[in-house]
Structures are given as structure tokens and as C-alpha cells.
Chains A and B, each alone.
Chain A
Amino acid sequence: ASALFSRRAADLQSYIYGTSALADAAKKNGRRRGAESESEGDDEDGDLFRLRNADEAGSDSAAPDLDADDALDASALPLAELDVSRWAEDGAAEQLRNRFVTGDWTEGEARD
């Protein structure tokens, strides 16, 4: 999920709004969309043939595939998607020190 964060505003904006939620809209400007972003796995139009496996993998598994039509409807990220294990290492918690009131307040406020 952290891959969704892009440093350039234009990238992120076009990533979000490059794909329409609507089915018919997606069909209409499918060609233009395909030219803009190759990486999108949402290909219900252009390609005549496609791998069945890829569809089925995304349909019922817990892993959220953003462009799968049948992705699981859950607002929370599954625990497996969060990078939880990195906080188990020794000293990892110190990275967050300045986000807590026990840390450096000027560092913490610099974010706002």
C-alpha cells in the first residue's frame, strides 16, 4: 500500500482519477486510458483474451487488488498488508520517538 504514495502530485492525481469507477465510462475512454497508464491491470476492454488465473486470484483472496472488479469490500487494511513485522526489531520503535510527546517537540511539530 505504501507504493500508492508518490512524491509528485500529478502522478498521484492521475493514478487516482485515471481509472473511473463507472463501468461504461471505462469502456468509452478505455483506449485513451490504456495509452496513459500501461501498468493498470484493469483490462476488461482492449484485450480480447486474458488469463483466467489472474482474475480468479483476485476474486476471493483476502489480498486487496485495487483494480480487481471483485476485490474484497473492507475499509480496514488486513493486518498482513500492514508492515507490522519491522516494528518487532530492536530499536525500531525509536524511529517514532518524535511522534510521541516523549520525543523532541519541535521535530514533531515541524510535520504540521
Chain B
Amino acid sequence: MLKFRGSQHLRQRLICATLSGKAIRVDGIRERDQNPGLRDYEACLLRLIEKVTDGCVIEINETGTSLRYKPGLVTGGSGLNHDCGKSRSIGYFLEPLVCLALFGKKPLSISLHGITNDGVDSGVDVWQQVTLPLIRQLADIEKDGLQMKVYKRGAPPGGGGEVHLSVPVARALPPISLTEEGMVKSVRGVAYAVRVAPAAANRMVDGSRGVLNELLADVRVFTDHRSGAEAGASPGYGLTLVAQTTTGRLISAQAVAPPAAKVHPHEGQQAQRDVGVPEDIGRTAAHALFEEISRGGICDSAHQGLVLLFCALGPEELNEVRLGPLTPHAVRTLRHLKAFFGVTFSVKPQAASSTIFLSCIGAGVKNMSKRVS
């Protein structure tokens, strides 16, 4: 039994525990917080894991500050449904869900309800345009296997989005060698607007173009304006930009208009002004994309943890990747991968490009239910 403290990195702990078959115990979850214990979204995630696995044991103490998790086998299955709540967006749940479902017994097909885009987690556009293609490559899956459809969008705080995800079963992971960044050849994007004027999407596109066209002409941003039942319960808009490089790498950045209701009452007026107009959201997204490109590496900061996870799960040969400055999430991921799988990465910073080469011998994690074939 592996013991951890605190609520940090819970999703990756659950992924690693399930894939390594090791039971974990997490103590001291927000024990000094005014509102101690697991949050509703974490409980929601545990319920989701219960749905897609068979035979797992989850025990939580009375105050919710201790969690014991004994993993079961991932079963997958179709026709599933899950309400992701309104605290975190669907992106929070997708990461553990996809990672686990790849090692399931049967392909997974599930409808997720909740917030599709917010400022904390990767939105569904990032997932469709960057994360899923990346996972397809990392896990060597055909294009039509791993798919996601956005039926309804939902902005915070009301949510009301609906996403349908299908994940095939991976047998074993291929060796990973991603070290060439390439040069940015095009930028694609999606500007979404729900329950606001359709012009907001076009104005965001204009704002981002003003910045991006200075360096690149090949910029195409699609607008996705939704109304009525497809638009969820709250107004919102945001922009996701994806830079494509000559070596096929994808770098994403997103900017989302903050939800109106979350503005603090005493600084309401000020905050309202800071939020700015759609053009500013467009410019911010473009600037964030520049920042991600300047950080370097074969993926953006949001995907570092995922790439490292797949390297560690990979076959027992050399897996190597090149990343920009490591995010706190990536560093925690490295520590957890060592704790669960005993995989230690060799870290070689390259001064000239300020990127980091990480390589490891994978743990050779196989799909438990496909062992015979």
C-alpha cells in the first residue's frame, strides 16, 4: 500500500494506482482547510472510476480527509452516462478517463455532462484538436477509434454541456521518441460563443489575427456559435488556438472569458473592466500561444504530464521526449511515476534552446484483460 498526503495530484494517483494494480491511501486531504476533505468534484471522479472499473474498493473516512483506494480491473463498456457536476470542467475528468479506458477490457463509450470550457482545465476544443491526436500517436490508435463529439456546450457556472467520448482498447504502447519540435507552419483555432451575441466569436478571431498575422499568414480560426438547447445554461465565450509545426507537433493555448457570476462583489466594477472585450480574449489567447511556443518542447505546458505518463507506461525500451520548462504538474508526475512504477527519467537540459530532454525505460504496462492475445 502506497501512502500519500494531501489532495494534490489525485487524478494521476488514481490512474497510476489502477494501472499498476497497487492500492493507495491518501491522508490529510485539506485537513487544515476551512472546508476539509474531498471536494465534490473529487467524489464525482471516484464515482466515475467506479463506473468504468470492476471490483475497486473506495473507502473515505467521516470527514473526507482520508481516502483508501484499492483498484479493480478497468472494464469499459458502452452506453454509460456521467454527470461531471459544476465545479470542474469535463476536461478534468477526461484525462483519467481516457488513460484508464485505453487499458480496459472493452471499448468505452460514455456521455459526459457538465462544463465544457473553463479557465482551469483544458477545454473540449483543446481535447479534440490536440490531446486526442496526441494520445492517438502515443498509444498508436487508429483515427476513428478515439473520438469525441461535443453535442452541447456549457460554460461555467451553469454548465449544461454534453460530450460523447469513445475510447478503444490499446494492447500495448509503442516506444515513444518525440524530440524534434519543428517550426510553426500554421495556426488553427476554434472561437466559441454560447448565449452571447454571435459577433463575440468573430471579434475574438479578429483580436487574435491582429497578433498572429505579424508572424504567420496561415491562420484559420473557426467560429462556433451556439444558441438554444445546444448552448448550455450560462453565457460565455472563449478561444482556443493550436499551432502546428513542420514535424506535426501541436501546441495549444486557450483563453476563456471569466464567468460573470464569479466576480467578487466588492471589486465587481473593476473586475468587469479587466475582463475586457472579446478582442482582448483573442489577443490574450494569441499571446499565450506565443508564450507556449517560446517555452519550446514537443507539447505545450498542459500536456507535459500526459506525455511523461505515456513514456513511463511504454515498453521496456528507451522512450524519449523533449519538453520546455517543466510545470509543477509535470514535476509531480515524475515523482509519482517513480513511486508507482519505479521509473526514473534521466533529465538533460539543453542550454541553447532551454529545453529539457527526458528519457526513461518504460515500465512495460500491458492491458491486463488482453494478456493472452
Contact = CB atoms under 8 A, between A and B. Distances in A.
Interface of A: 1-2, 4-9, 12-13, 15-17, 19-26, 44, 52, 55-56, 59-60, 62, 64-66, 68-79, 82-88, 92-93, 95-103, 105, 108-112
Given A17-B344, A71-B8, A76-B120, A64 B328 contact: yes
B6 A84 contact: no
A79 B5 contact: no
Given A102-B215, A111-B296, A112-B181, A73 B7 contact: yes
Contacts of B146: none
Interface of B: 2-12, 27-30, 32-33, 92, 95, 119-122, 179-185, 211, 214-217, 246, 255, 283-284, 286-288, 290-296, 301-306, 325-329, 331-332, 334-336, 338-339, 344-349, 351-356
A56 B33 contact: yes
A6 B354 CA distance: 9
Contacts of B12: 73
Consensus secondary structure, chain B interface: mixed
Given A4-B331, A12-B356, A99-B293, A77 B302 contact: yes
Nearest to B331: A16
Given A1-B325, A7-B351, A99-B294, A79 B119 contact: yes
A17 B338 contact: yes
A19 B335 contact: yes
A6 B346 CA distance: 14
B230 to A, nearest CB: 25
Contacts of B255: 79
